[in-house]
Amino acid sequence: MTTDQSIASITADLTDEIQQVAKQYPIRRSAIMPALYLAQDKYGTVDGIVYQAISEILDVPEIWVFEVASFYSMYNRTKLGNYHIQFCTNVACMLLGADNVLANIQKRLDINAGETTDDGLFTLSCVECIGACDVAPVMIVNEKYYNYLTGERVIEILDQLEKDIKEAAK
């Protein structure tokens, strides 16, 4: 999966913003993480072309960009669905039935964790604690938290999300 961009187009899109954020640091290397975020916000994913462009803009070795992009889990090196479900499976959520909720999500979407539905609507990721244990079980869809999940409630949420996007597309 690629961003379908050229180095020239990425450079044209992002040079100013990346140079701006680089001013916050005494060394250019520090701007690699924010630069990757800027690229991801624009193109949805980051890939070899993005690493090359960032390395040129910041004048740092490309491997420095790649090693950061491949270490941190929030840089998407493959394309995500319209809805990215980050489902918490850590202890507090597990104690309150997260495993059952997850099984329902997998059944409803017919995918496993780490996969995207064939229609490209949903990507499911199992994640570690997302800091909302008092309202467990929880998941984040794109940037929104959903609390107190149950096997039934999660299906209603997914149905609604699917309906929303299909209506928006009309």
Partner 1 sequence: MNEQALLKNIRNPDASDITVYEKSGGYTGLRKALGTCSPDEVIEKVKSSGLRGRGGAGFPTGMKWSFVPKDSGKPHYLCCNADEGEPGTFKDRLLMERDPHQLVEGMIIAAYAINSNIAYVYIRGEYFLSISRVEEAIAAAYAAGYLGKNILGSDFSLDMYIHKGAGAYICGEETALLESIEGKRGQPKLKPPFPAVAGLYQCPTVVNNVETFACLPHIFRRGVDWFTSIGPADAPGPKLFCLSGHLNKPGVYELPMDISLGDLLENYGRGARTGKFKAAIPGGVSAPMIPSSGFDVQMDFSSLAAVDSMLGSAGVIALDETASIPSVARRTTEFFSHESCGKCAPCREGLTWAAKILRRIEAGDGLPDDPAQLEVLCGGIFGLTFCALGDGAAWALRATLKHFPHEYEALIKNRSIPA
Interacting residues with partner 1 (CB under 8 A): 24-27, 29-34, 36-37, 60, 64, 67-68, 71-75, 86, 89-92, 94-96, 127-136, 140, 143
Listed in sequence order, the residues at least 6 apart from 121 whose beta carbon sits closer than 8 Å to its beta carbon are: 81, 82, 83, 161, 162, 165
Nearer to partner 1, 12 or 91 (CB): 91
Nearer to partner 1, 37 or 165 (CB): 37
Cα distances (angstroms) measured from residue 60 to each of 56, 63, 66: 7, 9, 11
Q: In angstroms, what is the minimal distance from the CB of 140 to partner 1?
A: 7
Strand pairing report for 122-127 and 83-88: parallel
- Spatial distance between the Cα atoms of 169 and 162, rounded to a whole number of angstroms: 11
Q: In angstroms, what is the minimal distance from the CB of 46 to partner 1?
A: 11
Which has the closest alpha carbon to 69: 41, 36, 43? 36
Nearer to partner 1, 133 or 157 (CB): 133
Q: In angstroms, what is the minimal distance from the CB of 119 to partner 1?
A: 26
Q: In angstroms, what is the minimal distance from the CB of 147 to partner 1?
A: 11
The reply to whether omega before 61 is within 30° of 0 (cis) is: no
Nearer to partner 1, 9 or 45 (CB): 45
